[in-house]
Amino acid sequence: MNNTHSTHKNQPLLLLIDLQKAIDHPDWGERNNLDAEENIATLLAHWRNNDLPIIHIKHTSVEPDSHYRPHQEGHDFKAVAQPETHEEVIEKHTNSAFINTPLEQILRARNIEDVVIIGVITNNSVEATARMSGNLGFNTTVVSDATFTFGKKDYSGKWHDAQQIHDISLSNMAGEYAQIMSTKELLSSMD
């Protein structure tokens, strides 16, 4: 291809979802996977050291009460996921990173087949993006310990804790849309 953005075929792309300071706001309540940041840092370092493709998704909310609204600190990237100058950042305004963004077009242009998804939150933007990634035909992996979520009440008022919501979200994706791997399993498979 005569495309300056093209990379070698079959290079897995690391897609970081919504890793902004907003997610550290105490409003969210108790989260699971407290070591997610450590795993995110490990994966990002591996991708950078091996010169593999990376795209950062930045959520810019249009909801006036969202911690992800622009022009305030919550919109900034978390330190652990701060993009380097040459790394691509794609802004999104809804949950899935594929809706109203150039993400699919960029992946196709670069011959990306394998997409590795990390970030937040498991059952919302991560799951929405992973479901679309799988359905669009990308070989999609979600890293189980490099994403996290929060407990919440369901519509009938029953409480579900963060780990339970996380586990069911990963089970929704597993097999149908994505493969689920830990950071350690993923890195071993790439050796």
189 binding a second copy? (CB under 8 A): no
Q: Which of 105, 171, 188, 189 binds a second copy (CB under 8 A)?
A: 171
Which 137-156 residues touch a second copy, going by CB under 8 A?
144, 152-156
Which 120-139 residues touch a second copy, going by CB under 8 A?
123-124, 127-128, 131-132, 134-136
Rounded Cα distance, 91 and 98, in Å: 10
SS3 (DSSP) at 111: coil
CB 183 within 8 A of CB 43: yes
Residue 114 pairs in a beta bridge with: 139
Cα 9 to its chain centre, rounded Å, is 22
Specify the stretch interacting with a second copy by CB under 8 A; choose among 1-9, 27-35, 74-82, 92-100: 92-100
Whole-angstrom Cα Rg for the chain: 16
Minimum CB–partner distance for residue 161 and a second copy (Å):
11
CB 8 within 8 A of CB 48: no
Residues that bind a second copy (CB under 8 A): 94-96, 99, 123-124, 127-128, 131-132, 134-136, 144, 152-156, 158, 160, 164-165, 167-172, 174, 176-177, 180
